Structure 1
């Protein structure tokens, strides 16, 4: 290694002497190698290859962008035709007979219940009930019973007996506005 350094020092000295008459003091150093540059050839190659990789990646990115723009332009030109039903005045007003077509909901089962009254009991009071016990309800005699459909109050009425069965004669039907208020 000492021989390499001596050789390199001699090359520097010769280069300085050869380039001494020129205006540029570094003119004779073209053929001189610097010990720090001994590994720089590899670094230069690595930098060039890295630069080439970056250039290739940027070119690929630009190609992808151009391809995406072309795809978007193509897709924007595509149209689909749909066969939509005529929504003329007859369709908006319903059928020509003016009657709504509600046949599809006629077979939906509903639970209808009639409530004579309510009360609250303690467990102790409930356990003491027996045959012949009387439970006091919150309604007065003669007050209308309440009719519920799927748990929602829809009407009020009075109890009647028809052919030895109980029934209810409707006396008041709850308006749709009141039914909506009950939901809230």
Structure 2
């Protein structure tokens, strides 16, 4: 079945449905009328001819700079913060042999900064601090948005 036949069938089906419901296909069901009209135009036009598209003039609307965007909606979205001190690849055999007191060697040197990840994306580097007997992180270097975009590519 060609596209022309398909459009015609949809238009006819929507017209039939509108008639069964007791409504005018052109009035209450603009989709049926439009599909029928498009099928009729397609069958009358030569398939090699191409019509130029016409567009309405753009008007200022939702993108108007005078409207204030309410960012408060975004401020309450929860995100996951992760601190990564390093990584290690181990075999399952070694993983199963670990016991209490085992030491796992990481790929970073002592004194190197930690990575702060937000939802899995590197945001900053920092160092561990202790405040009132709790761990914290002092940010030493924040990754710029341009650098984050470069890493995505």
Give per-residue Cα distances to partners, 1:99-133, cap 9 Å, x unaligned: x5311101111001000111000111111100111
TM-score, reference length from structure 1: 0.48
Q: Which residue of 2 is the match for residue 92 of structure 1? A: 65
Runs of 4+ more than 3 Å apart: 84-87
Which structure has the higher relative contact order (CA within 8 Å, separation 6+)? 2
In structure 1, C-alpha distance between the alignment counterparts of 2:75 and 2:123, rounded to whole Å: 18
Q: Residue 94 of structure 2: SS of its match in structure 1?
A: helix
Alpha-carbon distance change, 108 to 86 in structure 1, aligned in 2, over 3 angstroms: closer
Q: Which residue of 2 is the match for residue 106 of structure 1? A: 75
Alpha-carbon distance change, 93 to 141 in structure 1, aligned in 2, over 3 angstroms: farther
Give per-residue Cα distances to partners, 1:110-161, cap 9 Å, x unaligned: 0010001110001111111001110000110110000000000000000001
Alpha-carbon distance change, 133 to 105 in structure 1, aligned in 2, over 3 angstroms: same
In structure 1, C-alpha distance between the alignment counterparts of 2:151 and 2:122, rounded to whole Å: 8
Q: Which blocks of at least 5 consecutive residues in structure 1 are unaligned?
A: 1-64, 70-83
In structure 1, C-alpha distance between the alignment counterparts of 2:116 and 2:81, rounded to whole Å: 7
Shift of 1:164: 1.1
Q: Which residue of 2 is the match for residue 152 of structure 1? A: 121
TM-score, reference length from structure 2: 0.57
Q: Which residue of 2 is the match for residue 171 of structure 1? A: 140
Bigger Cα Rg: 1
In structure 2, C-alpha distance between the alignment counterparts of 1:117 and 1:94, rounded to whole Å: 45
Which structure shows the bigger proportion of residues in helix conformation?
1
Question: RMSD of the TM alignment (CA)?
Answer: 2.4
Q: Which residue of 1 is the match for residue 107 of structure 2? A: 138
Shift of 1:163: 1.3
